[in-house]
Structure 1
């Protein structure tokens, strides 16, 4: 933009328009981006003067900036928040991705490997958060309200389901504690598992954890019948997901919101999962004819049709597959989390950083509280224009260290701290204290 920061501050409220996302990013990254919180997290306690801190740790983290024209600037690295802020203000990336921590500064990678000054030392990743990416576009066969990158409050519950199921499984089934959930800024969610054990996992271990959640397997060769991987009886983790999340959300939210059994495009794949051809034909004929099943006791047509279908399938006692199993499979096939597994499998995969701005929506990639997943509304996520207007309305104070506290960004950083960083920060400090005692030869206190 032509005007400088002080001139913009003096303009007053509602100066900034929602459509000017790229033009506003320079101001956002200069004044509102919480670089200190970001770098404290990514240093894992190695940013201080503790004698056991790894002074070069933060510098070995890869940042990737996407510039105008989809120009990818990989292997950026920064030793502290000051360097990061300067680079963001100078380059104004439309997207920021985070990669792994390498064995050497990624900016100096060319000096390592075959023929390089590093001799036999090969440039390689050594640490990376375990990450998961759930994208709403992978649910387009379930959504009647939206498609592609569009989202609304009718389809967002699919993301709520994913948060509830994955968060609990990662904590209870794998024992992870430090999970950072982030809204992607447009159509999906990410989770960063930041326990030390998770960060050091091999690619094989990452693939195994991702596969643990890969219940939905796509469609069969015909492209019609949805496939899921379930056992009888259900695995305890899947039974917990079904009883606590899938079953209530299916009839209370998914069916009413999407009207899945009122549109042939959506009900045909559901009927295709029923083994009994006679039942399939019977309901297909009734539903295509427009026969109504809703009553005063059950006014939603999709729910009423579902109840009648399940009643019929259960009574049929299909050989080799109970009706109850069929209804289980339908719910898992439509509502169980669908991961982009490739994002999770490899240590060196890039993923969008928290707190950056989505260039198309202008929304900030804000942290989420998994314990309040059902109340998260992506439509109310602050935009860069909104926050700059909030800063103006609050009087600005250009150059203040924490100007974001005058805007909606304060709530995002508070969520980051309360749901994730405070506990992890404490653990990182305890780990450094243990290392110091070990070096000094003092006995480690058992708690």
Structure 2
């Protein structure tokens, strides 16, 4: 049956999971559908829950509206940017605003434009539902605006937008819609839109974004830093959002100290810092070998035919000094024995698993050994300590782990040690629980 505004119900084919009788809400509960995709951007509809009258609502109309429009040359959305980065921020040239339904004429004009954009770019979404969420006072929208005066007040004024709802007490926000106008796609506005929203989210105290994505939307959200591995404690969003048929739940952690409008400059600064540190211990920037002479033919006497390619490479000046060994080259040239190939393949696989674990947001307590000088009773309780740095050293050694199962045992013991030593209400314990859940998915086979 068609979408019913009065009851907030939708057809089952839109992907809404039916509620159990005990979960049935009031007439104010809205149905929800997963993200629909567009060629460049994607969006989703979320459940519209009644606001808690005792909670602080981040959609306070006194703090948002068209008065907050930022245009070229205004740095107000880039608070926290590094002063040392002298390069002009390209985001300063983008005209944008955070808008909500505060009753002002200017705000309503922008909201109508956003509603038209979402309806046009997301044709499978019920227009009534889009309007209901966009104009809901508990929702905010980030709008990118055209600086062409001829577009003022028209549909073309809105280049792109994201509609979201923040839950301040739980410190997360759920993204409802995300879209860029067809004429402005493939120009990078999708990334700029999400980065500006992350930058604004820091000022609202938001730590996580949550969204549901269909198969076409997953790629976009992955590029924007979203992941399927949910690290946010379930208690923070349980009951506020629903599960969906055909949708994949994704989250993005918003680091409070990162300026999301200067990601390229930050990466460049980090790269330069690492190169400087390398120069303090390496000779690669000082030693330059002359070109190999024409017809370079190193002596290969006493070298077997199977090892000739590796031996020829080892004879090149600088290869050995760079840290290459004959065993490494034999593997890369296909001259290694089957046993050595299997050993190196296992080593690479285990290192990839360890690094994937280390990259997770909940891995911070496990990256280095516990400082027993500070935690004096640790070894009295934990008889067999383990951490990620120790595990990586064992993997590099090459002969410690004989299988993936052995690595899994060490990683699982790392989580068990953490749970044994720490109280169940501590953040360390939460990280250990998240690690166990992650490991069960990582080593599902």
Structure with greater proportional helix content: 1
Higher relative contact order (CA 8 A, sep 6+): 1
TM range (shorter): under 0.3
Name the larger-Rg structure. 2
